[in-house]
Homo-oligomer: A and B are copies of this chain.
Amino acid sequence: MKKPYVVGMDIGGTNTDFGIVDARGNVLVKSKIRTDKHIDINRYIDDLHGELMRLIEQVGGIEKIRGIGVGAPNGNYYNGNIEFAPNLLWKGIVPLAKLMSAKFGVPVALTNDANAAAIGEMTYGAARGMKNFIVITLGTGVGSGIVIDGKVVYGHDGFAGELGHTISVRNNGRMCGCGRTGCLETYASATGVARSAREILETTDKPSLLRNAAASSITSKDVYEKAIQGDEVAKEIFQYTGKILGEALADFVAFSSPEAIILFGGLTRAGNLIKDPIKEHLEKNLLKLWQGKIKLLTSELRESDAAVLGASALAWEV
């Protein structure tokens, strides 16, 4: 193969991770630069170019690189722009794919992080061979990548798959960063788990190991650790999170009738503590015709490489 490698790159609020990947999904070399130190997008591109070219030289130079795939918050696949990303310093519309392609001289494809994860699962992970599935990313927020008939759904404008912003609690729901209330993301993300913990500690007097720390500092990791130790309140929080998620997933199935739903991201580290209640409430809420038929899977991408791998998979299609 003349151009045997692709670059995968994941832009987060703090760091930008990137690596060079072969056709089997091996990450050959990887590195990172800070995202949040670059208010000026052109300086960011310059620094990125310096560090990424260093890696590229290690694998034989730019002529070995087929393309660059980028996962970024609010990334629009159709035009390669990052559009109004609330967690990045660059405001408005950033034509990232165009800027990078001009700098590196190779094709650059961009999409949001959840779509990148879906392509990653299809190419290297739990969805190999599947044509219809949904990836739900459970991190700081809740994202989704929907695949129908072997293709990621981008919709009319490139922004399809905002399932974290479907409404789980119609009345008196939690305030969401999007300006509305009751979004799935306010319950089923890592942040949502921490909010649930604070809520239950404040509104009940149930004894819990979680009371040993200040309520405001509780994280989803704390809840996980206490649940492992057998703390009833912590286990109840995962039950509740799983119930909200299971109910939401049942509605998603009614939309696209996927073969599988694949859970991805930080919250999946809680394992069966979260997966069991999701499964239970998914089944309880499915239409009869789908009961027992929808696979609930966890990402098979090695976690440390997952975001880079997902984005890199996009570059094979450019």
Residues of A within 8 A of B (CB): 83-84, 131-132, 146, 148-149, 151, 153-163, 165-167, 169-170, 178-180, 247, 250-252, 254-259, 285, 287-290, 293
Report the separation of the CA atoms of residues A257 and B156 in the bound assembly, to the nearest whole angstrom.
6
Contact B288 A153 (CB under 8 A): no
Q: Which of B251, B255, B259, B290 contacts A161 (CB 8 A)?
A: B255
Chain B residues with CB below 8 A from A146, complex form: 255-256
Q: How many copies does the complex hold?
A: 2
| Closest chain B residue, CB of each to CB of A255 | B255
| Closest chain B residue, CB of each to CB of A132 | B156
Report the separation of the CA atoms of residues A254 and B146 in the bound assembly, to the nearest whole angstrom.
11
Report the separation of the CA atoms of residues A259 and B161 in the bound assembly, to the nearest whole angstrom.
14
Q: Say yes or no: A254-B162 contact (C-beta < 8 A), given A148-B148, A157-B293, A293-B157.
A: yes
Chain B residues with CB below 8 A from A154, complex form: 257
Report the separation of the CA atoms of residues A221 and B290 in the bound assembly, to the nearest whole angstrom.
34
Contact A178 B256 (CB under 8 A): no
Contact B287 A162 (CB under 8 A): yes
Contact A287 B132 (CB under 8 A): no
Tell me the smallest distance from the CB of A253 to a CB of chain B, in Å.
9
